[in-house]
Amino acid sequence: MKVVKLEDIIGSDNEVDGGNWVSRRLLLKKDNMGYSVNDTIIRAGTETHIWYQNHLESVYCIEGEGEVETLSDNKIHPITADTLYALDQNDEHLLRAKRDMRMICVFNPPLSGREVHDENGVYPVDED
């Protein structure tokens, strides 16, 4: 069994600051669960272009307020606490935070830990 405390992740190598967001990587590829789990803060007033071409992601908002705009249809989806959205089609989207949003993010395949979005909003695939 594995037990991870957020307080042990904050300030460690498993906390990644992407500018518009800070992601605390709780479970990673090396944990051999088949998925990874992040506790991520999306900073208020930001807009982040994301297009996970190599990953599927489910996101559960536990605090804050914002929206996701799917770029294939320009539909805006309001996001508040107790809302989950799943990017089940590798959806290219814009994530906007009106207030700081705290999100629990699950990735498949799992992240290795240090990923940040490239110029197209993509996380690279881990070939290992």
pLDDT digits (tens, 9 = 90+) for 40-79: 999 999 999 999 888 899 999 999 999 999 999 999 999 9
The answer to whether residue 94 sits within a structural domain is yes
The answer to whether residue 119 sits within a structural domain is no
The answer to whether residue 13 sits within a structural domain is no
The answer to whether residue 48 sits within a structural domain is yes
CA 5-7-8 angle, 5° bins: 70
pLDDT at 126: 64
pTM metric for this prediction = 0.88
Could you give the residue ranges of the DSSP H alpha helices within the chain?
A: 6-9
Q: What is the CATH classification number for the domain harbouring 42?
A: 2.60.120.10
Task: Name the domain count of the chain.
Answer: 1
**How do strand 93-108 and strand 36-42 relate by DSSP bridges?**
antiparallel
- Which domain does 78 fall in, by range? 21-108
Whether the bond into 110 is cis, omega within 30 of 0: no
